[in-house]
Chains A and B, each alone.
Chain A
Amino acid sequence: DQQVKQNSPSLSVQEGRISILNCDYTNSMFDYFLWYKKYPAEGPTFLISISSIKDKNEDGRFTVFLNKSAKHLSLHIVPSQPGDSAVYFCAANNDYKLSFGAGTTVTVRA
C-alpha cells in the first residue's frame, strides 16, 4: 500500500533552470512532510520539510509547496546546479513513522 507516490522516476534539467519534483499522498493523517536527497552509496540526507499547517517553506534555492486539498506537494530547486544531481525522496510523517516515495532521479545537465 503505497501511501506516498512519486510518479516521475527521473527528471533531466539544464543547469540554471528550475527543477520541479512532485509527490502525492493518500493518508490525510500525515502532518509533516520532508524531502531527502540521496547520493549513490550514501544514506539519504534531510533537505527541507513542511508542516501540514503551512503551504510553503523556503530555504535558499529550495522551496516546498503543500496543497492539502489535493494531497500534493512539490519541491522546487532554482537555479539547479550540477551538485543537485541525486535521487530525491518525498516522505510523510504520521506520528513517528515516515512513509517514503520511490524517489525521483534528478540529472542536471551542464
Chain B
Amino acid sequence: GAGVSQSPSNKVTEKGKDVELRCDPISGHTALYWYRQSLGQGLEFLIYFQGNSAPDKSGLPSDRFSAERTGGSVSTLTIQRTQQEDSAVYLCASSLIRSGGEQFFGPGTRLTVL
C-alpha cells in the first residue's frame, strides 16, 4: 500500500520488558514523526526526524524512550523497561516537507503494559 504502515498493530507486554515499534513511512517522505495518544488525551508529540538532520527528541518522556530512523526511511521506537503508564496508542506520521502542514498517519500500535 501507499500509506504509512506500523507494526505490530497490538502489543501486550509485561512491566519491565523492552518493546520495539516499527514505522514504514510513505516512500519519499523526508519527515517522520512519532506521537502517543493516551486514553482520553490528544496526540502527544514524541520525536521528529527530518532527512539527515539531528532528530528533535524534545517530546520523549524519559530516557527509557529512544528512536532511530535507518536510511532515511523505516523508523523504530524503543521503550525500555516498560511501565504501566506507557500504555497508549503510538502513532507514526510522515510528510513531504519540513512543515507542520498535512501529516499522513499510520494506524498506530496499541501498547498495553500489564
A residues in contact with B31, CB < 8 Å: 96
Range for the number of chain B residues in contact with chain A: 20 to 34
B97 to chain A, nearest CB (A): 9
Proximity bits, B85-114, A CB within 8 Å = 1, else 0: 000000101000011111111111000000
Interface size of A by CB at 8 A reads: 27
Given A98-B45, A99-B45, A43–B101 Cβ distance below 8 Å? Answer: no
B33 to chain A, nearest CB (A): 8
From B41, B48, B100, B108, contact of A43 by CB (8 A):
B108
Stretch at the interface among A11-19, A62-70, A72-80, A100-108: A100-108
Q: Enumerate the 9 nearest inter-chain pairs by beta-carbon distance, A residue then B residue, closest first.
A: A93-B100, A43-B105, A100-B42, A100-B43, A102-B42, A46-B102, A44-B105, A96-B100, A43-B107
B residues in contact (CB < 8 Å) with A: 4, 31, 33, 35, 40-45, 48, 50, 56, 91, 93, 98-108
